[in-house]
Each structure stands twice: as structure tokens, then as C-alpha cells.
């Protein structure tokens, strides 16, 4: 560099170089700090993942009320239907009617013993002579006959496993113990449970997802809570989707932008997005579960067995909770539509409504959907407001509509973690994995939609 080029700047060459080193060093320090921040985030995330996965897999000992090897000479899977039913008849004759009720009954449980067989087993195979008899008029052998005629081999084998063998997880170890202390675990298992089976077990499995709530960790499943979550999400979408988009369209496209009232409304919506969720829960309890009980309990359409603590109340509460987020995101998406497109539409003689529906909305819908999905994934993980609104911690029947009692996955997790039996820690970990999988699914849907629509613009 020639001298005259820097002659206007009163800095000596050596000073300049020293100064440059110092400036480069400052940059380097900050770069390292940012990197450390990244590393700590990763460490925390890994710790969480470790904690969950550690609980969801590992060795367990199954013990049995009746050892399957002593039950019959051949394995259960090789027995025929009559042979299996015979086992039921021998081992648990008094449970046969319960099995019949749980597997084949076509009438409500409370009239099971009062209705004639023709009604109870409508459409099933049975001896026509029994049509006018009642369940308690039949002998055990006749009931066994009906079971054997109507159920498949797998179904009866499953019933035998539940009713006779009754596998039960007596002890469990987490993943790290299972991997590091295998010989020790084998020794303990052989000592304490000579007749038990030691197996490496994944607590997340298909049975876990499809089994209903149970007080026994071995049989406990997530179905009731998953259905509750899905029903509530349906209500959330139906309630908050149209209102949120409509409000955003009004605020962005119609409301006078510099008016004081619009600004106050927008500021308030932004503040509402930050209100703690428990407060929405209290609002939901007061308004949806109490004041509007006549509607949320379904009494206005003739449902009588509920109070206001239903799927509908919970869904409306969560819908209210994510409404501000939906409005803000939708408004941002509308704002991002280039004004040149609006001009083009107006320039062709479009009315405001035609411009909004023909140009603005189609170009913003990707962003709007992304915002809604992200808001939904927030709602799925909410616990506090639903406890306040009145989620049940234990319900025996699946929610089947807006007027059902409900529980949801996060509450189920909370409930399991607070149980004294150690095995429920494992089911909780498994439920967390299912919940996270659900959230990842929603987030990938959001990313997919964003990419798909942003390519078109």
C-alpha cells in the first residue's frame, strides 16, 4: 500500500496493524461466546432427550399369575379356539360373562343381564333356541360355546393372557442400567423372580398407544388421553381458525391503519398472547364450564351425564388461548403480501373484497397455516388451563364427542409421574415420546407448507 493513499488519516502504519489485531481479537472472542451458547443449548437438549429415552427403554421382569408353560403342553399360539375356550372354562369360569360382555355385547353394560340374548348378541352366532333366554340363564359351557363361535384364535389368546396368565411387570430398569449392568440385573431377576421372564422392553409400543387408561402400569395405555387431545384439537381448530383469520383480515386489510382504536386493539392482542395460560384456564372455567354450562355440557341437545367440564369447554379455552397468536401470525402473513400485487388487482378494477380473496389470501395462506399449526402445537402441550377447566385424571371411557369428559396427554403424563409405582415413570417417559412425536409431526407439516407456498411466490 503506497504512503500517499493513507496520508489523510493520522494513523501510523504500525499503530494501524496493532489496532487491526485488537479488532480482529474482539470479533474472535464474541464468535467463541456465541459458539459456547450454542453448545450449552445442545447439551441441555441432549440432557432432556437422555432423560426421556432412559426411561422409555430397558429391561423389565414379567411375572405371571399362571405360568404360561404350566397352562398347557403346547404354546398358546398353537391351540385351537375350542381348546382355548376350554382353558377359560377350567381356569376362570366366573369371568366368562364379563369376557362375553366386554367382547361381544351389543347393549349398554347396565342392561346386559336384563336383555334377551337375541338383543345382547344381535348379529352374532348363537343357538337360536337361546334367543329369548337371558345371559344368566345360560350355563358356563354354553357361554364358552358362544365365545368359541364368535372370536378368533388371536382374540381368545389375548383374553387368556389378560384373564389367566396376567403378565405383570414386577421390576424395571432404565436404559443406562440395562446397558451397563446387565449381569447384575440378570442375577437379581433370577434371584427374586425365579419364574419371571427378563426381557428388554420398549415402553413405547403399539399396545401402549391403543390401550386405555389402567391402574396397572403393565396394561396402561395412552388411548384415552390421545383421543382427548385429538377431540380438543378439533374443537380448537374449528373455533379459532375462522375467528383468527377473520380478525387478522379485518385488522390488516380493512381497519384504518393509523387510527387510535386500531392501534389499541393491536397492542392488546399482542399483550394477550403473553398472558399466562392459567389465566385463560380460569376464564374458561368461569365462562365456558360455568356460565355456559347449559351449552358446553350438551344439555341443550339432550346430553345429561356431564357437567360443563367437557371437551367443548376445554377446546374453547385453548382456542381462546391461541387466538392472539393466530391473529398475529396471520396478520404478519397478510402484511408480507407485496403491495404490487394488490395494486395490480385494484388496477384491473377489482373491489377490495375481490382483491382480498383473489390475491391477498391465496398468497398469505401458507404463512397463515404455518402460524396456525405452530399455535396448535403450543395448545397440544398445554396443561395448566385444562386442569383448571376440569380435566379428569382418570376416566374409564374414551371421549367420543364434544360433550365427553376428557383427559389429555400432558395431564396423563403429569398424573403418571406423580404415582408412587416406579413403573409409571416408564409409561410417562413413553407418553412424552409419543407427545414429542406428535409435535414434530405438526412442526414438519408447518415447514412443508411454508416451503410449498413460498416456492410459488
Partner 1 sequence: MTEAMIDTKITVELKHVSVYYDSKIAVSDVSLPIERNKITAFIGPSGCGKTTVLRVLNRMNDLIEGARVEGEAIFNGKNLYDPNVDPVQVRRYIGMVFQKPNPFPKSIYDNIAYGPRLLGIKDRATLDHIVETSLRGAALWDEVKSDLKKSGLALSGGQQQRLCIARTIAVEPEIILMDEPCSALDPIATQRIEELMRELQERYTIVIVTHNMQQAQRASDYCAFFSIRKDETVVGKENRWGILAEFNSTEKLFSDPDQQETRDYISGRFG
Q: Kindly write out the interface string for residues 285-304 of this chain, putting x where it contacts partner 1 by CB under 8 A and - elsewhere.
A: --------------------
Say which residues have a Cβ less than 8 Å from residue 273's Cβ, sequence separation at least 6.
324, 325, 328
Report the residue number, 168 or 262, with the smaller CB distance to partner 1: 262
- How far apart are alpha carbons 398 and 223 in whole angstroms? 8
CB of 281 to partner 1, least distance (A): 41
Burial class, 403, CB count within 10 angstroms (exposed 0-12 / middle 13-18 / buried 19+) = buried
Do 178 and 59 touch, CB atoms closer than 8 A? Answer: yes
Does position 205 interact with partner 1 (CB under 8 A)? The reply is no
DSSP state of 57: E
CB of residue 241 vs partner 1: minimum separation in angstroms? Answer: 23
Among 107, 341, 387, 445, binds partner 1 (CB under 8 A): 341
- Residue 350 C-beta: closest distance to partner 1, Å: 5
Rule CB under 8 A: choose which of 119, 346, 365, 442 binds partner 1.
Answer: 346
The C-alpha atoms of residue 386 and residue 188 are separated, in whole angstroms, by 42
Count of residues binding partner 1 (CB under 8 A)? 23
Q: In angstroms, what is the minimal distance from the CB of 362 to partner 1?
A: 8
* 457 touches partner 1 (CB under 8 A): yes
Does 260 sit near partner 1 (CB under 8 A)? no
CA angle in degrees (0–180, nearest 5) for 443-447-449? 115
Regarding 354 and contact with partner 1 (CB under 8 A), the answer is yes
Sheet of strand 57-63, all strands in order from the earlier edge strand to the far edge:
168-172, 57-63, 197-202
Residues 219 to 258 in contact with partner 1, rule: CB under 8 A? 256-258
Interface with partner 1 in residues 363-392 (CB under 8 A)? 363
**Interface of this chain with partner 1, residues 416 to 445, rule: CB under 8 A:** none
Output the smallest distance, CB 102 to partner 1, in A.
57
Q: Interface with partner 1 includes 351 (CB under 8 A)?
A: yes
- Does 108 interact with partner 1 (rule: CB under 8 A)? no
Instruction: State the Cα–Cα distance between residues 22 and 126, nearest whole angstrom.
Output: 93
String of contacts with partner 1 for each residue 300-339, x by CB under 8 A: --------------------------------------x-
Q: State the DSSP code for 257.
A: T
d(CA 251, CA 439): 30
Q: Which of 301, 317, 294 is nearest to 401 (CA)?
A: 301
59 touches 200 (CB < 8 A):
yes
Grid coordinates of 85: 375356550
Q: Toward partner 1, which CB reaches closer, 212 or 362? A: 362
**Residues of this chain that bind partner 1 (CB under 8 A):** 256-258, 338, 340-351, 354, 358-359, 362-363, 456-457
Amino acid at each position: 500500500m503506497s504512503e500517499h493513499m493513507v496520508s489523510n488519516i493520522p494513523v501510523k502504519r504500525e499503530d494501524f496493524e496493532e489496532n487491526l489485531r485488537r479488532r480482529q481479537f474482539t470479533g474472535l472472542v464474541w464468535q467463541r461466546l456465541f459458539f459456547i451458547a450454542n453448545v450449552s443449548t445442545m447439551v441441555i437438549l441432549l440432557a432432556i432427550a437422555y432423560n426421556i429415552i432412559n426411561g422409555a427403554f430397558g429391561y423389565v421382569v414379567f411375572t405371571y399369575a399362571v405360568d404360561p408353560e404350566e397352562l398347557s403342553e403346547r404354546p398358546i399360539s398353537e391351540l385351537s379356539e375350542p381348546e382355548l375356550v376350554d382353558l377359560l372354562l377350567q381356569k376362570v369360569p366366573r369371568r366368562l360373562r364379563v369376557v362375553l360382555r366386554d367382547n361381544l355385547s351389543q347393549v349398554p353394560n347396565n342392561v346386559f343381564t336384563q336383555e334377551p340374548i337375541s338383543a345382547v348378541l344381535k348379529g352374532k352366532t348363537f343357538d337360536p333356541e337361546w334367543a329369548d333366554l337371558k345371559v344368566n340363564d345360560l350355563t358356563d359351557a354354553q357361554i364358552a360355546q358362544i365365545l368359541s363361535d364368535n372370536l378368533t384364535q388371536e382374540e381368545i389368546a389375548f383374553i387368556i393372557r389378560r384373564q389367566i396368565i396376567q403378565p405383570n411387570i414386577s421390576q424395571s430398569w432404565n436404559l443406562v442400567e440395562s446397558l451397563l449392568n446387565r449381569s447384575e440385573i440378570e442375577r437379581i431377576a433370577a434371584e427374586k423372580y425365579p419364574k419371571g421372564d427378563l426381557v428388554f422392553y420398549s415402553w413405547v409400543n403399539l399396545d401402549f398407544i391403543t390401550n386405555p387408561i389402567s391402574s396397572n402400569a403393565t396394561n396402561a395405555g395412552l388411548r384415552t388421553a390421545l383421543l382427548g387431545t385429538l377431540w380438543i384439537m378439533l374443537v380448537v381448530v374449528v373455533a379459532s381458525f375462522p375467528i383468527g383469520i377473520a380478525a387478522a383480515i379485518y385488522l390488516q386489510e380493512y381497519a384504518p391503519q393509523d387510527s387510535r382504536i386500531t392501534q389499541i386493539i393491536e397492542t392488546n392482542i399482542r399483550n394477550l398472547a403473553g398472558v399466562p395460560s392459567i389465566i385463560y384456564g380460569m376464564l374458561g372455567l368461569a365462562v365456558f364450564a360455568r356460565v355456559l354450562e347449559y351449552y358446553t355440557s350438551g344439555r341443550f341437545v339432550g346430553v345429561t351425564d356431564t357437567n360443563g367440564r367437557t371437551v367443548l369447554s376445554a377446546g374453547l379455552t385453548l382456542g381462546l388461548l391461541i387466538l392472539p397468536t393466530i391473529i398475529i401470525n396471520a396478520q404478519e402473513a397478510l402484511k408480507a403480501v407485496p403491495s404490487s400485487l394488490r395494486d395490480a388487482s385494484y388496477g384491473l378494477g377489482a373491489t377490495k373484497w375481490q382483491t382480498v380473496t383473489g390475491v391477498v389470501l391465496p398468497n398469505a395462506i401458507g404463512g397463515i397455516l404455518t402460524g396456525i399449526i405452530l399455535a396448535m402445537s403450543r395448545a397440544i402441550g398445554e396443561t395448566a388451563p385444562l386442569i383448571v377447566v376440569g380435566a379428569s385424571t382418570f376416566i374409564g371411557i374414551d371421549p367420543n364427542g364434544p360433550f365427553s369428559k376428557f383427559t389429555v396427554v400432558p395431564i396423563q403424563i403429569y398424573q403418571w409421574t406423580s404415582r408412587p409405582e416406579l413403573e409409571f415413570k416408564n409409561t410417562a417417559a413413553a407418553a412424552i415420546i409419543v407427545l414429542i412425536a406428535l409435535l414434530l409431526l405438526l412442526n414438519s407439516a408447518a415447514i412443508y407448507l411454508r416451503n410449498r407456498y413460498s416456492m410459488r411466490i
